[in-house]
Amino acid sequence: MMRPNPWILIMTILLSVAWSLERGTNENPSVNPTKTPQPSKYYANKSKVFNNGSNVNLTCSDKTWNEVLHVIWNIYFRDHSCKITFSSSGEAGENSCRDGMSLRNTSSAQSYLYIPNFSTDDVGMYECESVYRGGRENYNINVSITVAPKISAWLEYDGSKTVAVCRAEQGNPAANISWSPAENKSVMSMNPSDGFFNVESRLSEEEFPENLTCIISHQLWNQDKTLVPDRSKMKAAAKAHLALTCTGAVGVALVILGGLVYFALKKPTLLPFCQQTDTSTSKPPMTSEDVEEVEPYASYVQRVNSIYN
């Protein structure tokens, strides 16, 4: 058996090593380290509308408790702010919010913010951050409320005409108002106040039919509301107007009468009987015959002395 040429064996080994280095087949892990994946980030803006008095749940992530590292809610209301936090590291969470607002979890261990008996005080901007293994989510949620308006309708006087008024106050969103059987003849005004809307419709006619109705629709109602304008206000206004007119007429008459009396007292010539005098009862002037002569004091003293002498 022939022994292999050692030179050929050495050359084969060298060529094999060179080929391996060129092809990058070196399996040394220090040569090609594995990169650490960066955590994913997610940002979003949302808008939510809830009914007045409802119980509200707001979610910041669909991750479960065992995946979440921490959750932070920063809530900004119209006149104040508050904060609610949770951490899986065992640190005590923070809750500076009021009215029962808190963090809870569902039966599947998903975190959510619970707001009981939602009201206008809970309207605001809700900012949340949820950090979990492998990522982070941030949301800005603009939360508003749906409120049914307070409604009323009546008839009133406006100068010489009668006006039918229908009003829907403090509603969100704004209500819609129409009239029957006088549709498309009203003048409507809308006045937003503190995020709520006051809607008023005025219908001016010479005379209204007895079956005139105001129809109000709103997002919260399954059926429209129908109101018959209250005519008692118009009657009360008519009585007040009549009483004011009578009072004014009496006042004018008293002023005229007082002026006549004052003018008459300032002009006595208009009342000649006031100047007449009764001369029959007046005393006649005194004469010289009625005056008794008085004796001089000196003569009286001299006569008395002579009597005593």
DSSP state, 230?
Answer: B
184 occurs within a structural domain = yes
Same domain assignment for residues 120 and 173 = no
Same domain assignment for residues 110 and 168 = no
Same domain assignment for residues 123 and 209 = no
How far is Cα 198 from Cα 166, in angstroms, rounded to an integer?
A: 11
Residue identified by tokens 């002037």 is 285
211 occurs within a structural domain = yes
Q: What are the backbone dihedrals phi and psi of residue 33, each rounded to the nearest 5 degrees, phi first?
A: -70, 150
- C-beta atoms surrounding 304 within 10 Å: 10
108 occurs within a structural domain = yes
67 occurs within a structural domain = yes
The full DSSP string for 67-114 is: TEEEEEEEEE-SS-EEEEEEETTSPPP-B---TT-EEEE-TT-BEEEE
pLDDT value at position 57? 95
Q: Return the percent helix, strand and coil in the chain, to nearest 5.
A: 25, 40, 35
Same domain assignment for residues 103 and 189 = no
82 occurs within a structural domain = yes
Beta strands in 196-268 (DSSP E): 196-205, 213-217, 225-227
CA neighbor of 295 nearest in space, from 308, 282, 286, 304:
304
Domain edge (last residue) among 233, 248, 265 = 233
pLDDT value at position 32? 47
Same domain assignment for residues 116 and 172 = no
138 occurs within a structural domain = yes
287 occurs within a structural domain = no
38 occurs within a structural domain = no
Same domain assignment for residues 85 and 141 = yes
Domain extent at residue 171: 150-233
Q: Which CATH number belongs to the domain containing residue 70 in this structure?
A: 2.60.40.10
Token pair recorded at residue 167: 């009003």
Same domain assignment for residues 85 and 170 = no
Same domain assignment for residues 121 and 212 = no
Q: Based on the structure, what is the number of domains in the chain?
A: 2
Same domain assignment for residues 136 and 206 = no
Same domain assignment for residues 109 and 173 = no
Domain edge (last residue) among 146, 169, 190 = 146
Tens digits of residue pLDDT in 39-94: 566 678 889 999 989 999 999 888 887 888 999 999 999 889 999 998 887 777 89
How far is Cα 114 from Cα 98, in angstroms, rounded to an integer?
A: 12
pLDDT value at position 99? 84
User: What is the pLDDT tens value at each position of the chain, 309 positions in all?
Assistant: 555 566 666 666 666 665 555 555 444 444 444 444 455 666 788 899 999 899 999 998 888 878 889 999 999 998 899 999 988 877 778 999 988 999 998 888 888 999 999 998 999 999 999 998 888 899 999 999 999 999 999 998 877 788 999 999 999 989 999 998 876 567 777 777 677 899 999 988 777 888 899 999 999 999 999 999 998 866 555 555 555 555 666 667 677 777 777 777 766 554 454 455 454 445 555 554 554 455 555 555 555 555 554
CA neighbor of 217 nearest in space, from 262, 267, 255, 180:
180
Domain edge (last residue) among 146, 173, 197 = 146
Considering the entire predicted model, what is its pTM? 0.55
Nearest 5°: the CA angle 217, 219, 221 is: 65
pLDDT value at position 30? 45
Token pair recorded at residue 118: 């939602």
